[in-house]
Amino acid sequence: MGLKARFLSLILSLPALLIALTFHEYAHGYAALKMGDPTAKYSGRLSFNPVHHMDLMGTICLLFFGFGWARPVPVNPRNFRDAKKGAIVVSLAGPFANFVLALFFSFVIAAMERFVSANTFTVFFYNIFSACVYLNVGLMIFNLLPIPPLDGSKVLMEFLPPRAKYKFYEFERYSGIILMALIVFNVLTPVLSFLKNWVLVFINILVGLVF
């Protein structure tokens, strides 16, 4: 891909990126509130303003690699009415929101292909909606990995025995460095691409039931 094409791709990806990150983190905060913890609300994170949620490195990874993360929403598990259920629901809320968004924009794309004539205006939005699908699926898959501090690791920890859970907490100190190394050296890319393709196939099947 040439420099000009790459730049255009980044420009088209920005709206998709802001939508994916914002809804992901809002979902975490909203789920925490429903589980009994108002920390995100009082911290100003129950917001659809993307500035409140963006993490610099996670945003760069999303733009250039198609998977990444946002600034974590503050959560106090001690406020949950049910600690285990609260931790699982809150952790899965962000990835689930991304799946719903990917499915929604897939339906929008299918509707455009069937009912809207192609022109410069519609093609522009078609490309943005396509980026919304791919970025949301990428964000969902990446965050479900059982590597701290990603959402998948928080779900996994709720099913570990106490000793293993403690070891997992110790591992979290170094997980950021390990995670970045895995990204930089493309260790995760084949696995993430494989999972991403299967999720896209599943979404296409669901869309095909309607269109």
Q: What is the DSSP letter of 37?
A: -
Phi, psi of 148 (to 5 degrees): -60, 145
Nearest to 203 by CA among 97, 107, 67: 107
Main-chain dihedrals φ then ψ at residue 161, nearest 5 degrees: -65, 160
| 209 token code pair | 């039931």
Which residue out of 25, 158, 170, 172 is catalytically annotated?
25
Q: Which among 42, 155, 45, 25 has a CA at the least distance from the CA of 89? A: 155
Q: For this structure, is 25 an active site residue?
A: yes
Sign of the CA dihedral running 124, 205, 154, 187? negative
* Radius of gyration for the alpha carbons in the chain, expressed in angstroms and rounded: 18
Structure-block tokens of residue 90: 């809150």
* CA 58 centroid distance within chain: 10
Is there a contact between 74 and 174 (Cβ–Cβ < 8 Å)? no
Catalytic residues: 25
